[in-house]
Structure 1
Amino acid sequence: MEMVDGEIENDYINFKRIVPIYSETEGLHQRTLRRLMKNILDGYADELRSPIPQEIVRGKDLIEFQEAFRRVHFPPDEESMEDLNLYRSDGHRRIIFDELFFLELGLAMKRRGAALKKGISFRTDGYLPEKLLKQLPFQLTSSQKRVLAEIKEDMEKPHPMNRLIQGDVGSGKTMVALLACLYGVECGYQAAIMVPTEVLAEQHYLNLHQWVEPLGVRVALLTSSIRSSEKEDLYRQIRQGDIQMVIGTHAVIQEAVQFHRLGVAIIDEQHKFGVVQRGLLKKKGAEPDILVMTATPIPRTLAMSIYGDLDVSLIEELPAGRMPVKTKVFHESTRGKVYRILEEEVRKGRQAFIVYPLVEESEKLDLRDASRMAEHLQKQVFPEFRIGLLHGRMKCDEKEAIMMEFKEGKIQILVATTVIEVGIDIPNASVMVVEHAERFGLSQLHQLRGRIGRGSYPSHCLLLAQSRSSEEARARLRAMERTTDGFQIAEEDLILRGPGEFFGIRQSGLPDFRIAHVIRDARILEEARREAFQLVQEDPELEHPLGLKEMLISRWRGRLELANIG
């Protein structure tokens, strides 16, 4: 029995049986919701159909679709309460399998469609990449060499490359991407690298420019901050093919940008772009090779299941000589100790970041902000050191000047917002202080930490948090102290945030999940993937059973390239 609003429920639906607990809406109580659901299932459950082939249903020992809904809402008395609450009942298993099967079926169809397209076959001796490698002051890691070989093999094939590079922060993904661009440039094509922030675009441009211009390759930076007159000139040079590599933000996919012969498109930090934006970059060329990169690593089997239409490469090792970063959580009462650690490092000749969640003071949030604190730190705390300020609202040339001064060591302490989250490479920086660390996500904290420890010096990541943080925030901070392994961090983040937010399901173009969870249901996900890919191999037009193709289109809500489906 269950007590509801002070009454004992004593009718047939609720008395002495396992009953579901629904999320309540004002004016609708549990008794009413259960009666409504009972009436709906009695009247319409038999109309529920799943077009998954019966041989798959029988082979996986799944119950019928209609029965699954009945058992989930009104379980038989012998059903285990634990299995129901952990989504392990036969009813849950069938519904979860259906959700994940249609996810994987869509990915299998997208992969098949890509394989049928005619792309560019890049046949090259690789003299430009080789020339660059000879002038670099470091060697590629064995992981980088393996991934580069996988990319070169893809680029030589007659259909477009669609490859995902996974690697922890600082593993050297950008260098691999640059070498891939040079394969394309060597064959007479252009390359584009799209990144999420202007600061990252500028950082990439400064590095790549100095590496490839001596090879005779012209590189341009394209962001929304560039003056209109300069943009027009850049557009003309890109259109005529005078510029071989373009590095930029969303500005790269503006209608005014027309490439002469785009052959390679790189998307950095791909989870920060929506599927539409990625599609727009692809359309800038005639089936260019696509390489997407992420520093939010996930287990390989999971990556293959979620990014199933992409080939997955993994850069597993960091460059030689990197020192591990020590991470420690501090509270307001120990702020003095944090400042002392920072000061000691700067006195040794090292540099430091201090990161804030806000640019300016907010009336709604009682948080320290970068602008005010930069002034306070310069006048009251570290008057003998030069402090710089960097945030996303600054003009392009201002940001570039600050970054250059920090890189050259003229600025000892850089106060910044999360614009420095990705791609900033300052080997001399050995300290990072993150203010209000409880406000940041786990993957974001790990990305920020990746800005230090890039040289041969021991480094410190100091997380300043409010003592009255939520349990979830404390769990994130404990994880940061416990490990520097990006894969462990990502897995914990996936568990804490859930798959929808972690993968950006809504902007990724993947179907939404109602009850499936890619970590909890990883085994079912792999089963669904095997069955879906096998089905597409045997029936590439999805002609049997009737309604399967229509259900696939409905589940993906038009987000599949339907031309691939026939």
Structure 2
Amino acid sequence: TDSVLILPHREVILENSKNSDSNSDILEQIFKEESDREWSGIFFKKEQVSLLNYLPNETVIFLDEPELIFDQLEKYSQQIEQAYQTKISELDLKPEINFQMEADLLKKNLLNSKRIEHQTLAAEADFNFRQQETVNFNSNLELLKDSLEDFKSKGFGTIIACDNVGQKQRLEELLGQAASHVFCDIGLLESGFIFPEINLAVLTDHQIFTRYLHRYKPPKFKEGIALSSYKSLTPGDYVVHIDFGIGKYYGLETLKVDGRKKEFLLLYYLNNDKLFVPLEEFNRVQKYVGKDGAPPLTRLGGPGWDKIKAQTKKGIKEIAQDLLKLYAERKTRPGFPYSADTVWQKQLEDSFIYQETEDQLKTIADVKADLEKPNPMDRLVCGDVGYGKTEVAIRAAFKVVLEGKQVAVLVPTTVLAFQHLNSFSERLRDFPVRIEMLSRFKTKKEQKAILEDLKAGKADIVIGTHRLLQKDVIFKELGLVIIDEEHRFGVVAKEKLKQLRHLVDALTLTATPIPRTMQLSLIGARDLSLINTPPKNRLPIQTEIIYFDENKIGEAITRELLRGGQVYFVHNRIQSIEQVCQLLKSMIPDLKIAIAHGQLPEKKLEQIMTDFYHQKYNCLLSTAIIESGLDIPTVNTIIINRAEHFGLADLYQLRGRVGRSYHKAYAYLIVPSFSSLNETARKRLKAIQQFSQLGSNFHLALKDLEIRGAGNLLGSKQHGFLEKVGVDMYFKLLEETIQELKGEKITPPLEVKVESELDIYIPTEFISDESTRIEIYTKLAQINNLSQLEELKTELQDRFGKLTIEVENLLNVTELKVLAKERLIEKVALKKDNLELEFAETKRFSRIELERITTAVSLPMEFRPEQKFKVVIKLEQDDSNQLEQTKNILLKI
């Protein structure tokens, strides 16, 4: 070679003329350790430059949360300053701090650049664009090409938003050369538009091909779906592999194994050990949900993980025994079997002015079936706010009252007691049912009269707070206890509720499911009903995070008042609530505002609630006392001050106070500044904003668990075990332990392996997005029958276009797995011209069965009765499609 370019091994080079003995002495004094070399820059005069200086002038910079970026920049500068001061205190020389660009200058350069800013908080101003509509092309490609040429001649940039990769590829092929000056990308838009001011035209593929987008339908969240969609993996997430323990997910990797391509999950363990998880084992990997911060990684190859699982299982036995005892007591305790529905019951149900949802009807049927059994009911009804849980409770209460029994409705707050009194009274007003409310709203004299009537059996239904749990409350014949939001009661109250459950039927209602409660319901300690379907025409609540901006707040309140609605303003500090009241009045002088909080006299609070209910006020300024309370259809805007001080479940409950009618509802969460919030508060606010769709309470319950760690989910003893293995693994071990204690044999699910020389994976050309590929692999791993597989195949074709050969292979292999599993075959191996089938240990064959198989398959075969029964079949050499031939053989076995 003629020349060699040798790069310096340090960022800073001293010129020979300056490298005197004195300088060398100084440098030797400064850099005593190799690690000190990183500070060399502070002693040399350099021009202040940053990466921005090297970018082209027209570069667009994307700032994700600029406020946080500038806040971190300031903190970093302070850290550098402190480190600098510490370093020079050891020296005689005092060099200037000229080694980094000043934070203010860097911030100024960023703000002067072309940029796009992404902020979680709502923008301080709305921007209105004068746009023009685009035409529908009705599949006329010549008209489309003419329009694209017209846009080009006018100097317009053109974007075409396509629904999926398949549509994008199809459009680019059809447009040919005309697509060279058009930017096609994936994006869901309802319609296209033209912005003449900025020379931009945006079209959509469904306008081009006349395939109009269906309007979004709120999903029905089932337990499994909610979990899988919530747990989508992103690089950097901690995961738990059932066999190998806790690792860190780094993405998908495509590798060649035995000459064929396969896709793997790449996991990192302790000491940077790698584990490649093949796609057929994706279901053995779960996202880690447990403690806050990073859990310790497991060491691969040692007994550590098995030891942790064994310790956890041993510790779980205690809680498992308690659950089994509770379950056994429920089955053996005698209860009161109620009669089938009467004419009055039917009249009550026919008088319901709304259309019941499918889930609501199923839940009502479940509750009635429980009441008609000879064992006591203990059912948890879980549904989003406003999904009709109260109607379920009213119908159950009425059924019990018709048999001469009494009903106690326990609620955590007096406000909720007042709400339920209105709801029950309204629904049962045409029937001879006496309903009372026992709470601090009542005087001593009134309380005494109600207690006497309960004892004498004159009051049929009593609604109250923990006051109902006191010793002086005696029923003549209590039949049913309805508990609303049990998790909001104190420890003592919960113990009393547990005792009550032993005596009578119990129905628990909740809108914010505690994950443990959900899990216990699923393993049989408690019955569970889910109401996942929103009422007809119910709309999602638009949620915005804002600063305390008087204009924004005033605009939100005024907009609600102009459409004849009412507003909640939540300020959770009684000391300063009057000042907030005066501020709101100064902003909107004609605002009719009432103040409500827990320290008001009982009668006054009751009167304020009643007056607001009857629209004598149009704004209720209150503490969080309304959290699980008023159900007023005319209130469709809520503003929550200092939202960062509330828990996720609390915010969700507060937001659920609005949007109870068919009007669009708004929730504004006020924070001082996003940068001043800690990481937990930021995650919490982002979660409440993210999960604004109807029925998202399951997502939020799991998100809350992830944000706050396990908390006191299972008590301190179990908490440590849960952190070590994660929530999913913990409950898997709990279920196994319960099975063992019951004396049941634990049979692991049959997992079928298919060995083939074909490429079986999802290429990036077919689905480029990694998280979407994981979603599809996860769906494939969960398929149990051929109809599910056919649905997924249709979905893939619809979303991504024509299937590639690799994806076809993947679907065919999944089909073989389903067929093999039905026949207790745990391994299918395609080796050149041979097909090997290995059966599960539990599978036994009679002579008649073997003869039937031989006749049906009619190909040369060999039986190998080893520990696991094997069949080796010679495939037809002229049949190139081995997968199809294997499928036909399996169908005959």
CA positional deviation for 1:377 = 1.7
Aligned to 1:233: 449
- The 2-side partners of 1:301 and 1:227 are apart by 36
Aligned to 2:567: 352
- The 2-side partners of 1:496 and 1:352 are apart by 30
CA positional deviation for 1:119 = 1.2
Aligned partners of 1:197 and 1:249 also within 8 Å: yes
Aligned to 1:499: 710
Aligned partners of 1:438 and 1:465 also within 8 Å: yes
Against the structure 1 CA distance between its residues 284 and 440, is the aligned structure 2 distance closer, same or farther, given a 3 Å change threshold?
A: closer
Against the structure 1 CA distance between its residues 187 and 428, is the aligned structure 2 distance closer, same or farther, given a 3 Å change threshold?
A: same
2:706 alignment partner AA: I
- The 1-side partners of 2:501 and 2:390 are apart by 22
- The 2-side partners of 1:435 and 1:421 are apart by 14
Residue-by-residue CA offset, 1:375-401 (whole Å, 9 max, x unaligned): 3322x1222120011111223322222
Against the structure 1 CA distance between its residues 154 and 275, is the aligned structure 2 distance closer, same or farther, given a 3 Å change threshold?
A: farther
- The 2-side partners of 1:126 and 1:433 are apart by 45
CA positional deviation for 1:327 = 0.4
Aligned partners of 2:568 and 2:621 also within 8 Å: yes
Against the structure 1 CA distance between its residues 145 and 275, is the aligned structure 2 distance closer, same or farther, given a 3 Å change threshold?
A: farther
CA positional deviation for 1:328 = 0.7
Match of 2:333 among 117, 133, 140: 117
Aligned to 1:242: 458
Aligned to 1:399: 605
Higher relative contact order (CA 8 A, sep 6+): 1
Q: Say how many residue pairs are matched.
A: 450
Residue-by-residue CA offset, 1:436-470 (whole Å, 9 max, x unaligned): 01111111101100000111111110010021111
Aligned to 1:35: none
Aligned to 2:583: 376
SS at match of 2:719: coil
Aligned partners of 1:128 and 1:183 also within 8 Å: no
Aligned to 1:473: 681
Aligned partners of 1:108 and 1:533 also within 8 Å: no
CA positional deviation for 1:265 = 0.4
Aligned to 2:370: 154
Aligned to 2:737: 531
Match of 2:553 among 338, 342, 358: 338
Against the structure 1 CA distance between its residues 255 and 524, is the aligned structure 2 distance closer, same or farther, given a 3 Å change threshold?
A: closer
SS at match of 2:711: helix
Aligned partners of 1:352 and 1:414 also within 8 Å: yes
Q: Please identify, of 205-214 and 169-178, the stretch whose mean Cα deviation from structure 2 is larger.
A: 205-214
Against the structure 1 CA distance between its residues 154 and 86, is the aligned structure 2 distance closer, same or farther, given a 3 Å change threshold?
A: farther
Aligned partners of 2:441 and 2:606 also within 8 Å: no
Aligned to 1:12: none
SS at match of 2:564: coil
CA positional deviation for 1:276 = 4.4
Against the structure 1 CA distance between its residues 306 and 421, is the aligned structure 2 distance closer, same or farther, given a 3 Å change threshold?
A: farther
> Superposed, which structure 2 residues align to 1:419-498 within 5 Å?
419-467=625-673, 468-484=676-692, 485-498=696-709
Aligned to 2:486: 270
Aligned to 2:296: 85
Against the structure 1 CA distance between its residues 305 and 235, is the aligned structure 2 distance closer, same or farther, given a 3 Å change threshold?
A: closer
SS at match of 1:122: coil
CA positional deviation for 1:495 = 0.7
2:581 alignment partner AA: A
Against the structure 1 CA distance between its residues 512 and 496, is the aligned structure 2 distance closer, same or farther, given a 3 Å change threshold?
A: same
RMSD: 2.7
Residue-by-residue CA offset, 1:302-357 (whole Å, 9 max, x unaligned): 5336885211111111211212100011113x342132122112122111111012
2:653 alignment partner AA: Q
- The 1-side partners of 2:339 and 2:244 are apart by 49
Aligned partners of 2:639 and 2:670 also within 8 Å: yes
Aligned partners of 1:196 and 1:273 also within 8 Å: yes
- The 1-side partners of 2:475 and 2:271 are apart by 60
Does the alignment pair 1:169 with 2:405?
no
Against the structure 1 CA distance between its residues 212 and 81, is the aligned structure 2 distance closer, same or farther, given a 3 Å change threshold?
A: farther
Against the structure 1 CA distance between its residues 100 and 129, is the aligned structure 2 distance closer, same or farther, given a 3 Å change threshold?
A: farther
SS at match of 1:476: helix
- The 1-side partners of 2:427 and 2:642 are apart by 38
Against the structure 1 CA distance between its residues 110 and 98, is the aligned structure 2 distance closer, same or farther, given a 3 Å change threshold?
A: same
SS at match of 1:353: strand
Residue-by-residue CA offset, 1:120-158 (whole Å, 9 max, x unaligned): 111132434322222222122111110111111111111
1:353 alignment partner AA: Y
- The 2-side partners of 1:275 and 1:117 are apart by 25
Q: TM-score with structure 2 length normalisation?
A: 0.48
Q: Please identify, of 239-248 and 104-113, the stretch whose mean Cα deviation from structure 2 is larger.
A: 104-113
2:580 alignment partner AA: M
Q: TM-score with structure 1 length normalisation?
A: 0.74
Against the structure 1 CA distance between its residues 115 and 429, is the aligned structure 2 distance closer, same or farther, given a 3 Å change threshold?
A: same
2:563 alignment partner AA: K
Match of 2:437 among 221, 224, 249: 221
**Residue segments in structure 2 that go unaligned for 5+ positions in a row:** 1-241, 246-268, 274-294, 299-303, 746-893
Aligned partners of 1:168 and 1:296 also within 8 Å: yes
Against the structure 1 CA distance between its residues 424 and 185, is the aligned structure 2 distance closer, same or farther, given a 3 Å change threshold?
A: same
Aligned partners of 1:265 and 1:291 also within 8 Å: yes
> Superposed, which structure 2 residues align to 1:181-220 within 5 Å?
181-220=397-436
Aligned partners of 1:391 and 1:416 also within 8 Å: yes
Aligned partners of 1:252 and 1:281 also within 8 Å: no
Aligned to 2:17: none
CA positional deviation for 1:212 = 1.3
- The 1-side partners of 2:634 and 2:742 are apart by 52
2:406 alignment partner AA: Q
- The 1-side partners of 2:646 and 2:547 are apart by 15
SS at match of 2:574: coil
CA positional deviation for 1:421 = 0.6
Aligned to 1:136: 352
- The 2-side partners of 1:149 and 1:205 are apart by 24
Against the structure 1 CA distance between its residues 405 and 81, is the aligned structure 2 distance closer, same or farther, given a 3 Å change threshold?
A: farther
Against the structure 1 CA distance between its residues 104 and 127, is the aligned structure 2 distance closer, same or farther, given a 3 Å change threshold?
A: farther
Against the structure 1 CA distance between its residues 155 and 481, is the aligned structure 2 distance closer, same or farther, given a 3 Å change threshold?
A: same
Aligned partners of 2:336 and 2:373 also within 8 Å: yes
1:391 alignment partner AA: H
Against the structure 1 CA distance between its residues 313 and 537, is the aligned structure 2 distance closer, same or farther, given a 3 Å change threshold?
A: farther
Aligned partners of 1:108 and 1:308 also within 8 Å: no
CA positional deviation for 1:410 = 1.7
Q: Percent identity?
A: 32
- The 2-side partners of 1:533 and 1:327 are apart by 44
Aligned to 2:25: none
